């Protein structure tokens, strides 16, 4: 049976004419339901991981929206969630637009955090404020990330005191590293720098020696292996 016909049957526009076709539709329907369930579970796991990051760092003056977004990206890699393809190549580095625009609502809905906008020394940033049910995510976190908690905590602690700009450079370099590795390109500093500065016009604000210094730090801390 052609895929087009299967689609019509799933939509209820064409009735199956044989037992074989009926069984095939049931299998496809079950697969689609499982796929939706898996997608929903993955989304919630990401929210739970993000809550752990916010809980660990909400009192740090260096935590703002950009740093938070980049740490979600890096911690998802530490958790081996395989979500690199969901991130877009946006100005400040790898960014999952759809997820990040819903996460504040999820925090609020679960009464884990609210996100306030505060201005200090002329700079406006996001502040993650714990709510009454802040410990509600922890049961899920322990269950979902039992085998990866050490790796996740290591990344969080590495960046605990680092500024947003440092974290942005590191996350962008990590994304460049993954892209080069997936394309089977050799991981050399000249190629990394080329990819980094091609990322967006914004990256030109960072001097080459600053970017190289962050890369060497990442190597030293074991965030990447070449």
The pLDDT of residue 120 is: 79
pLDDT surpassing 80 at residue 114: yes
d(CA 16, CA 92): 51
Better pLDDT: 178 or 83:
178
**Size of the chain, expressed as the number of residues it contains:** 226
Better pLDDT: 173 or 118:
173
Which of 103, 118, 148 lies at the terminal end of a domain, its last residue?
Answer: 148
156 within domain boundaries:
no
Task: Specify the number of domains making up the chain.
Answer: 2
Is 187 in the same domain as 135? no
Range of the domain at 22: 3-148
The pLDDT of residue 187 is: 94
SS (HEC) of 107-162 = HHHCCCEEEEEEEECCEEEEEEEECCCHHHHHHHHHHHCCCCHHHHHHHHHHHCCC
69 within domain boundaries:
yes
Stretch (H or E) spanning 209: helix 208-220
Q: Which two tokens stand for residue 69?
A: 């977004």
With cut-offs at 50, 70 and 90, classify the pLDDT of residue 35.
very low
pLDDT surpassing 90 at residue 180: yes
Q: Which of 127, 153, 146 is nearest to 64 (CA)?
A: 127
With cut-offs at 50, 70 and 90, classify the pLDDT of residue 22.
low
pLDDT surpassing 90 at residue 9: no
In tens, the pLDDT along 126-157 reads 899 999 999 999 999 999 999 999 999 999 99
The pLDDT of residue 14 is: 47
Is 94 in the same domain as 185? no
The helix/strand/coil state of 217 is: helix
Q: Which of 148, 151, 167 is nearest to 159 (CA)?
A: 167
Beta pairing partners, 89: 94
The pLDDT of residue 7 is: 56
The helix/strand/coil state of 168 is: helix
The pLDDT of residue 144 is: 94
Percent share of the chain, pLDDT over 90:
58
The pLDDT of residue 98 is: 73
Give 133: exposed, middle or buried? Use CB within 10 Å, 0-12, 13-18, 19+. Answer: exposed
Which of 116, 148, 180 lies at the terminal end of a domain, its last residue?
Answer: 148
The pLDDT of residue 130 is: 96
């Amino acid at each position: 049976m052609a895929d087009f016909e299967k689609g019509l049957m799933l939509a209820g526009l064409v009735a199956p004419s044989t037992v074989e076709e009926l069984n095939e539709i049931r299998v496809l329907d079950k697969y689609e339901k499982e796929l939706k369930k898996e997608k929903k579970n993955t989304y919630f796991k990401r929210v739970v991981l993000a809550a752990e990051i916010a809980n660990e760092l909400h009192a740090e003056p260096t935590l703002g929206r950009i740093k938070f977004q980049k740490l979600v990206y890096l911690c998802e890699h530490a958790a081996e969630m395989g979500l690199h393809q969901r991130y877009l190549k946006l100005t400040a580095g790898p960014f999952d637009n759809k997820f990040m625009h819903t996460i504040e609502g999820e925090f609020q809905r679960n009464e884990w955090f609210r996100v306030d906008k505060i201005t200090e020394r002329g700079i406006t940033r996001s502040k993650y404020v714990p709510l009454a049910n802040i410990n509600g995510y922890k049961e899920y976190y322990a269950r979902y990330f039992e085998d990866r908690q050490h790796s996740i905590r290591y990344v969080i602690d590495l960046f605990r005191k680092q500024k947003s700009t440092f974290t942005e450079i590191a996350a962008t370099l990590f994304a460049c590293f993954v892209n080069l590795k997936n394309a089977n390109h050799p991981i050399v500093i000249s190629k990394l720098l080329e990819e980094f500065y091609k990322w967006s016009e914004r990256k030109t604000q960072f001097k080459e020696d600053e970017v190289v210094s962050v890369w060497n730090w990442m190597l030293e801390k074991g965030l990447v292996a070449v």
